[in-house]
Amino acid sequence: MSETGKVLFIGVGRMGNPMARRLLAAGLSLAVCDLSEQALEPFRRQGLSVARFPAELAGEAVITMLPTDAEVREAVLGERGALSGPHRRAVLIDMSSSAPGPTRQLGQELARAGVAMLDAPVSGGVSRAQTGELTTMVGGSGEVFERWRPLLAHMCATIRQVGALGAGDAMKALNNYLSAAAFWASCEALVIGARAGLDPAVMVDVWKTGTARSHALEVKIPRAVLPRTFDYGFSLGLMAKDLGIAARLARSCDVPAPLLAATEGHLLHARDALGPQADLTSLITLIERWAGFELPAGACASDKEEK
């Protein structure tokens, strides 16, 4: 057993699967939990302890990578949650993009049970989860952060403590506001430009070396929009959830945020029109539908991040 002890990883979906694999590759002892048998199957085949409910699995460090704080709460405090079984837990590290309020509430309840908590949401997407190069923004006490930082380092190349419990979640929601607004604006600009006779691949190449530069132009659009694969690996439903967290944060701080409100509204519309499981990058098809025009297929600019 490593000095980290056994890790219980809950939620091995698009992000959790490659993150758990990084821990395995580092030689850590791992148990894996997911409600989906399909998600568990590759870990079962490797001989790991797996289960649909956390109570059955050992692990003093519990990592959650679940859709929202509601699932995190259920997985930890629910009837068959991590705290209900016979196993000792030292810490919960919630790496999901949760909301700050529910995270602080859960942290207080866990403290009463003698379990520490960090919120450590990540940015970087599936490709950086695979290479262990995620960025994490961590909320919690300095002591707990330092104790568990080596565990985070197996999954994340950039690790920043950004404040008390809940601060990581606030930082992440605002990160995704910026990311979603840039992505939506880039898709609109692409459709307008193509309609005006500009070449999509050339637009992307020019903008990403100019002041319009963004992750949307450098990675998402070359990788999943121009080739029309729409397989970036992040769902519209989860991005709409993140915009909701950011909008509630703005309201709770009495900060008027009209662009955030508009971006959230557009994301909710896209989620309802295309379905919550549709890939974020497919939202350009909605803009194309409104324009009655589709980007020419096969246009593909270089993808700087591709290795």
Which residue from 27, 21, 104, 3 is spatially nearest to 63, judged by alpha carbons? 21
57's tokens: 């699995």
DSSP-assigned letter for residue 236: H
Q: Are 109 and 77 in contact (CB under 8 A)?
A: yes
To the nearest whole angstrom, how small is the minimum distance from the Cβ of residue 266 to ligand NAD? 18
Catalytic residue among 6, 172, 220, 241: 172
- Among 6, 26, 49, 67, the residue binding ligand NAD under the rule CB under 6 A is 67
233's tokens: 């690996």
163 vs 101, 137, 168, CA distance in Å? 14, 9, 7
Which residue from 305, 134, 132 is spatially nearest to 221, judged by alpha carbons? 305
Q: Could you give the residue ranges of the DSSP H alpha helices within 92-235?
A: 100-112, 125-131, 142-153, 167-195, 200-207, 215
- Distance, in Å, from the CA atom of 95 to the CA atom of 122, rounded to the nearest integer, reads 6
Is 208 among the residues known to form the active site?
no
Half-sphere exposure of 124 (CA within 13 A, CB side): 24
- Among 4, 11, 207, 225, the residue binding ligand NAD under the rule CB under 6 A is 11
Binding of residue 125 to ligand NAD (CB under 6 A): yes
Binding of residue 234 to ligand NAD (CB under 6 A): yes
End-to-end Cα distance, the chain: 33
Binding of residue 81 to ligand NAD (CB under 6 A): no
Binding of residue 122 to ligand NAD (CB under 6 A): yes
284's tokens: 């350009």
- Among 7, 8, 30, 39, the residue binding ligand NAD under the rule CB under 6 A is 39
Binding of residue 136 to ligand NAD (CB under 6 A): no
Binding of residue 276 to ligand NAD (CB under 6 A): no
Binding of residue 62 to ligand NAD (CB under 6 A): no
Binding of residue 130 to ligand NAD (CB under 6 A): no
| Number of residues counted as binding ligand NAD (CB under 6 A) | 28
- Among 7, 20, 33, 284, the residue binding ligand NAD under the rule CB under 6 A is 33
> Segment near ligand NAD (CB under 6 A), from 59-67, 110-118, 187-195, 244-252?
59-67
- Among 106, 110, 217, 238, the residue binding ligand NAD under the rule CB under 6 A is 238
Binding of residue 51 to ligand NAD (CB under 6 A): no
| Nearer to ligand NAD among residue 62 and residue 65 (C-beta) | 65
Q: Are 54 and 33 in contact (CB under 8 A)?
A: yes
183's tokens: 């992505």
Binding of residue 16 to ligand NAD (CB under 6 A): yes
Binding of residue 97 to ligand NAD (CB under 6 A): yes
DSSP-assigned letter for residue 175: H
- Among 75, 219, 246, 260, the residue binding ligand NAD under the rule CB under 6 A is 75
To the nearest whole angstrom, how small is the minimum distance from the Cβ of residue 290 to ligand NAD? 26
- Among 13, 42, 85, 276, the residue binding ligand NAD under the rule CB under 6 A is 13
- Distance, in Å, from the CA atom of 107 to the CA atom of 92, rounded to the nearest integer, reads 9
39 vs 5, 12, 15, 124, CA distance in Å? 24, 6, 11, 21
Catalytic residues: 172
**Binding residues for ligand NAD (CB under 6 A):** 10-16, 33-36, 39, 65-67, 71, 74-75, 96-97, 122-123, 125-126, 233-234, 238, 242
